[in-house]
Amino acid sequence: MCGIVGTVAKTSVNQDIYDALTLLQHRGQDAAGIVTCEGTRLYLRKANGLVRDVFHTRHMFRLLGNMGIGHVRYPTAGSSSEVEAQPFYVNSPYGITLAHNGNLINNAELNEELTTKDLRHINTHSDSEVLLNVFAHALQNLHKITVDPDDVFQAVAAVHKRCIGAYAVVAMITGYGIVGFRDPHGIRPVVYGKRQTKQGTEYMIASENVALDVLGYKVLGDIAPGEAVYITKEGQLFKKQCADKIQYSPCLFEYVYLARPDSIIDKISVYKVRLRLGERLGEKILREQPDHDIDVVMPIPDTSRTAAATLARRIEVKFREGFVKNGYIGRTFIMPGQQMRKKSVRQKLNTIPLEFKGKNVLLVDDSIVRGTTAKEIIQMARDAGAKKVYFASAAPPVCYPNVYGIDMPAASELIAHQQDVATVANLIGADWLVYQDFSALVDAAHEGNANITRFEDSVFTGDYITGHIDADYLSALEQHRAEKQRKKNAESTMLDMVD
């Protein structure tokens, strides 16, 4: 997952984009970038690191203009090198920059077509650069000296015809405006809004509404699946449905873990979904463990706190905070590399032994993916004096690879893949383990918006909504991932030898 933002304003946009990216920092902590436009000149700053580390005062002074886009990345397809940081730029036609959240599953085919048929050069391994060139080529084929809204919408329609996968996009056409668009399934989130100033109306597009809310924008709505929103540099807004066929199916994992709890995605409150998940999980515990001996329920900060509170209330057990989180350590799920994730768990969390000593503790997490975090935290609870440690996952078992922009592409890395609940409990060291029922998760999200009849749920079901995913595709993806890791390990070894 990544975070994107784009804005057209009446005054300098550099600070607003910076602030929006800090509000979206939970969506990616690997790299950050901002590009702004003043007249026909572009100003770009991007690098690996957190937003606060990438942008210093000297960089902000150089980001001139009343229009710009920004991005925070965590690595999915491609590498984690600085050259992969977004936004990407292509000079023809007009000068276009683009930031993307998601993943194209036909990236290899598109790369080949762009190189051999469209005669466009792709400089990185990122599917976002491929998507940019597909969009740019569609605009160039119109052979127009200037750009109008219909041209932009035609280009987005061409993207929908060629690109398969998940994509929420902001793109800036130098000297003209900003366009935001979303794949025909609406897998990854993106919203847009406006605010009134003394100078006039300003617009912003972002991955989550929290970025708009905090900066004083009124949310106008989600960009619908297949839809494009185009905002000219003068501040005129146009929108159009650009896909021939849509199927509204946002990603379920956004509500479980990825999004902030104060976000509303596709008219569904993330906070309320997590409240309902806790209630349903509590009901399941009462069914399966009616004679439980749980003394206290504890969340694993931060994303499970909401569900843990309602779970505790439902089973009538005390809710306590047993872990203190160091907010300066990144989210372990999106840490690159197993060893880094394992190390950062101990750095990120510390126990309050008073809450554990001699008690039977139920730990609640939003989900279990690789199992690294759960195993470490269970051991921390035992080390703090817990008599028994039970574990509850507010999500169903994550059993299948994700190909739509979440970093879990290899089935062999998923602890629940082809394993029963008792085996997973044993692997993570829990006295017993309870997972959310899949139907309960769907119901909890569907209750927020009855108009959405299908969610993207492949990590739980193995059903890939876009099609075009088979065993050969997943095997190739796993091999590619393993090769990247081998190269990374080799580079680290060489650096150690040099040191």
Q: Tell me how far apart the alpha carbons of residues 369 and 405 are, in angstroms, rounded to a whole number.
A: 15
62-93 core/surface letters (b: 16 or more CB in 10 A; e: else): ebbbbbbbbbbbbbbbbebeeebbbbbbbeeb
Query: From residue 218, how far is each of 189, 222, 250, 266 by CA, in Å?
Result: 17, 12, 22, 15
Residue with tokens 């996952």: 393
> Which position among 2, 163, 242, 251 bears the catalytic label?
2
Q: Tell me how far apart the alpha carbons of residues 131 and 97 are, in angstroms, rounded to a whole number.
A: 11
| 248 in Cβ contact with 233 (< 8 Å) | no
List the 296-299 sheet strands across, edge first.
Answer: 318-319, 296-299, 360-365, 388-393, 432-435
Q: Tell me how far apart the alpha carbons of residues 46 and 38 are, in angstroms, rounded to a whole number.
A: 18
| 185 in Cβ contact with 466 (< 8 Å) | yes
Q: What's phi and psi for 193, nearest 5 deg?
A: -160, 180
Known catalytic residue at 2: yes
Q: Is 121 exposed, middle or buried (0-12, 13-18, 19+ CB in 10 A)?
A: exposed
Residues 6+ apart with CB under 8 A from 453: 248, 446
Q: Which of 406, 311, 420 is nearest to 365 (CA)?
A: 311
Q: What is the CA radius of gyration of the chain?
A: 23
Catalytic residues: 2
